[in-house]
Amino acid sequence: MIDFSPAEKSVATEQITRPSLSYWQDAWQRLKKNTRAIISLYIIVFLAFFTILGPFVWQVDPALQDLNQVSQAPALPKQALLSGAYEQWQRIVIQDFPAEPDAYREQVDAPESLRLIDIATTQGIRLAWNPVEGAGGYNIYRNERYPEGFNDLGLPLGSTYAGNEIGYEDRLSLEPFTYYYSVVPTDGFDEYEVYSVLTVTPQLTITIDEAKARNLVSDTATPGDVVFLEFHPLGTDYLGRDMLARLMEGARVSLFIGIFAPFFFVLFGIAYGGFAGYFGGRLDAVLMRFADFVVALPFLLFMILFKIAFGVGPGESGIIPMLIALVLLSWPATARLVRGQVLQIREQGYIEAARLLGGRDYYLIFRHIIPNTMGVILVTLTFAVPAAIFTEAFLSFIGMGVVPPTPSWGSMCNEGVKTMLSHPHELIFPAVLISITVLAFNLLGDGLTEALDSRLRSRE
Amino acid sequence: MLIYTLKRLVAGIITVWFIATATFIAMHQVPGDPLMNDKAVSDEIRQNLEQRYGLDKPVSQQYLIFLRNMLPPDPDFGISFTQQNRRVNDIIKDHFPVSAILGLLAITFATLGGILFGALTAIYRNRLPDFIIMFLVILGISVPSFVFAALGQLLLVNVNALIGYSLIPVAGWGTVMHMLMPSLVLGLGTMALLTRLMRSSMLEVVNEDYIKTARAKGLSPIRIFFKHQLRNAILPVITILGPQIAAITTGGFVVEYVFAIPGLGRYFIQAVQQLDYTVIMGTTVFYGAFLVLMVITVDVLYGFIDPRVRLQ
C-alpha cells in the first residue's frame, strides 16, 4: 500500500522577505537614487529658505538707495572718509592781475603749477593754477584717461571768464576714480591751443550727517575719520539698491507666481478633467471642446489682455491679476491629462469592485480615482512651475508684469539688460537665479517622471 | 483627409471668433474710453469720432461692427490711437514680414539643429557627446530667451571688438548678417526641446521590428539610419512644430525688443505700454488667426507625411 503523505509545506518560501512598500515609498526610494533630482530638491529647499528666511538674515531695505555705491560690482566693504558739511567754494580771484588782457595775443603760455586746493574728495575737487599772461578766461576739462592731445581733453566742465579768476571746483558726479583735469586759457571767447594736465584721484567721502542718518557711525565721530560703508555682497543696481536684498524680495514675486499659479490651475484642472472624465458622454465632449478653445488662445497675448482688462495698466504692479490670468489660461492641459487618466482608471477592476460594494460617486472619485492620478499630476505640477516662472519673467521683462519699485527677477533682468555692457552683474545675478530655479524644477520633474512611471517599474 | 481638413478649418474659424470675442470683451472691461486719453477733445470732435468708430451705439452693435470689420477678404482693424494717420492694417503689413522672416529663420534653425543633435545623442547614447549635448539642452530649456539675447549681444560686441570691425551687427535689421544672431537666439529654446524629443523618439524607433528586419536583410548601417530610423523618428517631432510656432512668435517679442528689430512684436509691446486699443485688438486677432492657421497646417501636413494618421 502506498502511503500518500502530504508534502511538507515549506513555510519559509511563503514569507515575504522584504518589507512591503507603498507606491509613494517606492517612488521615494527611486527618486533618492537619482542624484540630479536630489540635488535639485536641495536647490529648491535652499531657494525656499533664501526667499522666506533670507530677509530676516539680511535685513537691508531693498528700496534703500546707497548713492555712494551706485552700480557697484560685488566687492568687499568699502572705506570712506568722513567729512563735515559742505562748505561753499570761494572763487579765487587775484586782485592785482588784470581781468581782461590789454591787447589780443596770438599765443599764450599754458597755465603753470596746476594744483589741488584741500584734499580731493568725491564731495568736490578744487583746482587752482597760476594766472596766464594775456588770458581772458579759462576752460576746464575732465577726462578719464590721460589726454593724448588738444582734441582729447574730455568733458568740458566749465569756464571762468576773467584772466584773474584762477580756480574751479568740480562737483559733477565724482567717483573714486582717477581723473585727468586740463585747463586751457582763452582770450575770453576762443581757446589758445595750450593746456596743463593734473592727475587727481579723489577719496570716497561721506558727510558726517549722512553717515549718522544711515547709522554708519556713532555720535562721537569727527570729520577725517575713516568709516566702512554699507556692505553689498552682490553689489548694487543702477540706483544704488542692494542686489542681495532685491533678489530676495524679487524671489518672493517670482516664486509666489511660480508656485501658486500652477497649484491653482492644477487644482482646477483636476476638478474639471475629473468631472468630465468620470461622467463622460456628451458632457465630456462639450467640456473638452471648450478646453480645446482655451488651449488655442495665444497665451501671452491673452495674459496681457487680461491685465489690461483688470484695469492694471502698464506702470502698475499686478501680481494677483497675473496669477488669475495664468490660472484661467493654463488649466486645460492639466484637465486633459487628468481626464485621460480618469477614463483609464474608471474601467479598472477595483473601481467596479468598489461600486459593487456600494461606493458612491464622490467616494469613488476622492478615494480611488484622484489618488491614482496623483503621480501624473505631481509631474505636471513640477513642470508647470518653471513655465510659470518663465511667464512671470517674460511679462516683467517687457514691462507688463511687476514694475518698479517692486523687484522681481524678470524686471531686474530688464533693468540689467540696459547696463549689461558696463555693469554685467546687474543682469547676471537675476538671470542665473531664474535659470537655476527653472533648471532645478525641470530636473526634479524628470526624476519624478522616472520614479512614478509604472511602465518603467514593471520593466525592471 | 479632406473632411478632416474641413473639420479642422471650421474649428479654427470658431477659435478665431472666440479669440476676437474674448479680445472685444477684455477691451470693453477697461475703465474709461479710448477718447479719454491725453488731450481733451471738443464735443463736436468727440461726437464725430464716436460716430466714426460706432462708440455711440450699444455694445451689442459695436460688437457686430467689430466682427464685420474683421471679416475677410478685406479686414479693417481701424486706425492707431497713438500713431497719427497710421492704419493698423498698415502696421501689420509693414512689420509682420520682418517678424515672419525672423520666425521662419528661427524655426528652420531650430528644426535642423534639433534633428541633427537629437540624432547625434541617440547614436552616441550614454557616451560623452550625448552627455555634453543633453547638458546643453537642459541649459537651453532653463535659460530665458532674453538672457540668451543679452548674452548673444555681449558675444557680438566682444567678437567685433576683437576683429576690429563690425562683422555681425549687434542690433538692428536689414541685412542677412543682422538676422543671424536674433534668429539663433530665438530658435535656441525650441531647438533644445526638439533635441530632447528627437532623442527619445530615435531610441524608441531603434527597438522596432522593421529596424531588426532591415538589419537582418543586411542593409548597410548608414542606409538603416537614414532610411528607416531617422525618417520614422522625425514624425513625432513634426507634431510639436505647430505649438512651437506659437512659442517662437511670442518669444520673438523679446528678441525684437532686445535687438531693436522693427517687427510686429515690438509694436505690440509698444501698443500695450501706450494702451493703443485698436493696435492691441488688431494684432491680437491677427496673431491669433495666424497661430491657429499654423497649427492646422502642421496637423494637416502631418497627415500627408505620416500615412498612419490618414487611416485613422
CA distance A97 to A115: 19
Residue A299 has pLDDT above 60, yes or no: yes
CA distance A132 to A108: 7
* Average confidence score pLDDT of chain B: 80
Given an 8 Å threshold on Cβ–Cβ distance, is A398 in contact with B254? yes
pLDDT for the residue B38: 54
Residue B10 has pLDDT above 80, yes or no: yes
pLDDT for the residue B39: 58
Residue B182 has pLDDT above 80, yes or no: yes
Cβ–Cβ under 8 Å, residues B253 and B265: yes
* Residue located via cell numbers 482693424: B77
Given an 8 Å threshold on Cβ–Cβ distance, is A311 in contact with B29? yes
CA atoms A400, A317, A419, B270: torsion sign: positive
Of A299, A417, A421, the CB nearest to B146: A417
Within the 211-270 window of chain B, which residues sit less than 8 Å (CB to CB) from chain A? 246, 249-250, 253-254, 257-258, 268-269
- Segment B223-247 shows an average pLDDT of 80
Residue B129 has pLDDT above 70, yes or no: yes
Q: What type of residue sits at position B51?
A: Q
Residue B232 has pLDDT above 70, yes or no: yes
Given an 8 Å threshold on Cβ–Cβ distance, is B142 in contact with A435? yes
pLDDT tens track for A216-248: 766 677 777 777 777 777 778 777 788 888 888
pLDDT for the residue B27: 72
> Which residues of chain A are within 8 Å of residue B36 when distances are taken between CB atoms?
none
Q: In what order do the strands lie in the sheet containing A167-170?
A: A115-121, A124-128, A167-170
Question: What distance in Å separates residue B295's CA from the closest CA in chain A?
Answer: 9
Of A293, A399, A416, the CB nearest to B273: A399
Cβ–Cβ under 8 Å, residues A46 and A38: no
pLDDT tens track for A111-122: 888 888 878 888
According to DSSP, the residues that pair with A179 across neighbouring strands are A200
SS (HEC) of chain A: CCCCCCCCCCHHHHCCCCCCCCHHHHHHHHHHHCHHHHHHHHHHHHHHHHHHCHHHHCCCCCCCCCCCCCCCCCCCCCEEEEECCCCCCCCCECCCCCCCCCCCCCCCCCCCCCEEEEEEECCEEEEECCCCCCCCEEEEEEECCCCCCHHHCCEEEEEECCCCECEEEECCCCCCCCEEEEEEEECCCCECCCCEEEEECCECEEEHHHHHHCCCCCCCCCCCCEEECCCCCCCECCCCCEHHHHHHHHHHHHHHHHHHHHHHHHHHHHHHHHHHHHHCHHHHHHHHHHHHHHHHCCHHHHHHHHHHHCCCCCCCCCHHHHHHHHHHHHHHHHHHHHHHHHHHHHCCHHHHHHHHCCCCHHHHHHHHHHHHHHHHHHHHHHHHHHHHHHHHHHHHHCCCCCCCCCCCHHHHHHHHHHCCCCCCHHHHHHHHHHHHHHHHHHHHHHHHHHHHCHHHHHHC
CA distance A292 to A288: 6
Residue A45 has pLDDT above 50, yes or no: yes
Residue B303 has pLDDT above 80, yes or no: no
pLDDT tens track for A125-164: 888 888 888 888 888 898 888 888 888 888 888 888 888 8
Q: Which residue of chain B has the CA closest to A387? A: B142
Residue B150 has pLDDT above 70, yes or no: yes
Question: For testing the chain A interface, which of B37, B142, B256 should be mutated: the one with the most A CBs within 10 Å?
Answer: B142
pLDDT for the residue A313: 55
Question: What distance in Å separates residue B58's CA from the closest CA in chain A?
Answer: 19
pLDDT for the residue A460: 40
Q: What angle do helix axes A425-452 and B128-142 make, rounded to 10 degrees? A: 120
Question: What distance in Å separates residue A301's CA from the closest CA in chain B?
Answer: 6
Given an 8 Å threshold on Cβ–Cβ distance, is B144 in contact with A417? no
pLDDT tens track for B19-66: 888 878 877 766 555 555 555 667 777 777 777 766 777 778 888 877
Residue B156 has pLDDT above 80, yes or no: yes
pLDDT tens track for B158-169: 888 888 777 777
- Segment B71-79 shows an average pLDDT of 73
* Residue located via cell numbers 592727475: A199
Q: What percent of chain B has pLDDT over 90?
A: 1
Question: For testing the chain B interface, which of A47, A301, A436, A437 should be mutated: the one with the most B CBs within 10 Å?
Answer: A301
pLDDT tens track for B255-302: 888 888 888 888 887 777 777 777 888 888 888 888 888 878 877 877
CA distance B127 to B189: 23
Cβ of residue A35 closer than 8 Å to a chain B Cβ: no
Q: How many CB pairs under 8 A join A and B?
A: 128
Q: What type of residue sits at position A71?
A: S
- Segment A46-68 shows an average pLDDT of 80
Query: In chain A, how long is the greatest CA-to-CA distance?
Result: 153
Residue A5 has pLDDT above 70, yes or no: yes
Residue A16 has pLDDT above 70, yes or no: no
Strand-strand pairing, A205-207 and A79-83: parallel
Tell me if residue B43 falls in helix, strand or coil.
helix
CA distance B71 to B75: 5
Cβ–Cβ under 8 Å, residues A145 and A180: yes
pLDDT for the residue A134: 82
CA distance A10 to B5: 66
Q: How does residue A458 score in pLDDT terms, banded at 50, 70 and 90?
A: very low
**In B30-87, where does DSSP find H-type helix?**
43-53, 59-70
Q: What is the pTM of this model?
A: 0.75
- Segment A86-104 shows an average pLDDT of 79
Within the 279-308 window of chain A, which residues sit less than 8 Å (CB to CB) from chain B? 292-293, 296-302, 304-306, 308
Q: What type of residue sits at position A149?
A: G
pLDDT for the residue A317: 59
pLDDT tens track for B28-41: 766 555 555 555 66
- Segment A250-262 shows an average pLDDT of 86
- Segment A197-213 shows an average pLDDT of 80
Cβ of residue A438 closer than 8 Å to a chain B Cβ: yes
- Segment A75-88 shows an average pLDDT of 75
pLDDT for the residue A459: 42
The end-to-end CA distance of chain B, in Å, is: 10
Question: What distance in Å separates residue A235's CA from the closest CA in chain B?
Answer: 20
